[in-house]
Structure 1
Amino acid sequence: MTTTAPSRLSSLFAAGENLLRLSLRLDAVVTTANGLAYLALAQPLERLLGLDAGVGLAIGAFLTAYGLAVAVVGRSAPVNRAAASAVAMGNTVWVVASLAALSTGALGLTTVGVVWAVMQSVTVGGFAALQYLGLRRSR
């Protein structure tokens, strides 16, 4: 008897360690790719998003380093709960800081930049939620 995709998916979300590891690895890939994009495309992103190129480069450097650190956390066996908790908290702080920057207009973003920042916050918040859920289920 073969296992169907829905049952594999439900078992993935039921098992805390698997969910935690998957959410960390996805977070690492997306965050590192995003950081590298900010680094490589600072000038075009300045025009498109309204984000100062210097700020974009700083964000890119941070995201690249953070993404690589998250990758290290996601590769450990078993996942270090304290490190995974720190990643989930870091993601939560990122969402709050992003929303605060948006609400104050501190970054002077264009409409496209605001939409991008909201989408990024939703994505990071989703990673944090999955990480918290994985931590809770892996007790």
Structure 2
Amino acid sequence: MTTATTPSRLSALFASGENLLRLSLRLDAVVTTANGLAYLALAQPLERLLGLDATVGLAIGAFLTAYGIGVALVGRPARTNRAAASAVAIGNTAWVVASLAALVTGALGLTTVGAVWAVMQSATVGGFAALQFLGLRRSR
């Protein structure tokens, strides 16, 4: 019986644009805030592992923590503010573009592990942006 109800719950989740938008914002908020806090707490070890200067890592951590809290506030209400959600989706898209540009240009001097991390992080953020744009489109 559980297997019969699981697909219907998933399809209901993805059918409603508002539900999809709110879920994608909330997941984004959790992942982004956790990532930001990790950058803040682990700046020195990440410098060695990723090749990311600790000062830059701290700045990224502070930004991601604040951004994640902002995304949480956008995703909190029962009815999502479309303009704010659009701003988050656009901000996520800009993050992906900036991350990949920094990777291609070598601007951050990342190690191989750091480059793989940057690609994985970009894919995750890009996935959140895609879900947010889809949620916005379906909730018109």
For 1:39 and 1:53, the matched residues in 2 are separated by 9
Q: Return 5+ residue gaps in structure 2 as ranges.
A: none
Matching residue's letter, 1:111: T
Displaced runs of 4+ in structure 1, greater than 6 A? Answer: none
Give aligned pairs, total: 139
For 2:61 and 2:77, the matched residues in 1 are separated by 25
Matching residue's letter, 1:65: A
Q: 1:59 corresponds to which residue?
A: 60
Alignment of 1:6-21 (within 5 A): 6-21=7-22
Matching residue's letter, 1:126: G
Q: Deviations for 1:78-127, whole angstroms, at most 9, x for unmatched residues?
A: 10000000000000000000010011000000000000000000000000
Alignment of 1:1-139 (within 5 A): 4-139=5-140
Q: Deviations for 1:45-79, whole angstroms, at most 9, x for unmatched residues?
A: 00000000000000000000000000000002210
User: What's the RMSD between the two structures over aligned residues?
Assistant: 1.1
For 1:49 and 1:63, the matched residues in 2 are separated by 17
Identity of aligned residues (%): 88
For 2:100 and 2:77, the matched residues in 1 are separated by 32
Matching residue's letter, 2:78: A
Q: Return 5+ residue gaps in structure 1 as ranges.
A: none
Matching residue's letter, 2:112: T
Matching residue's letter, 1:96: V
For 1:11 and 1:21, the matched residues in 2 are separated by 13
Matching residue's letter, 1:56: G
What secondary structure sits across from 1:78 in the alignment? coil
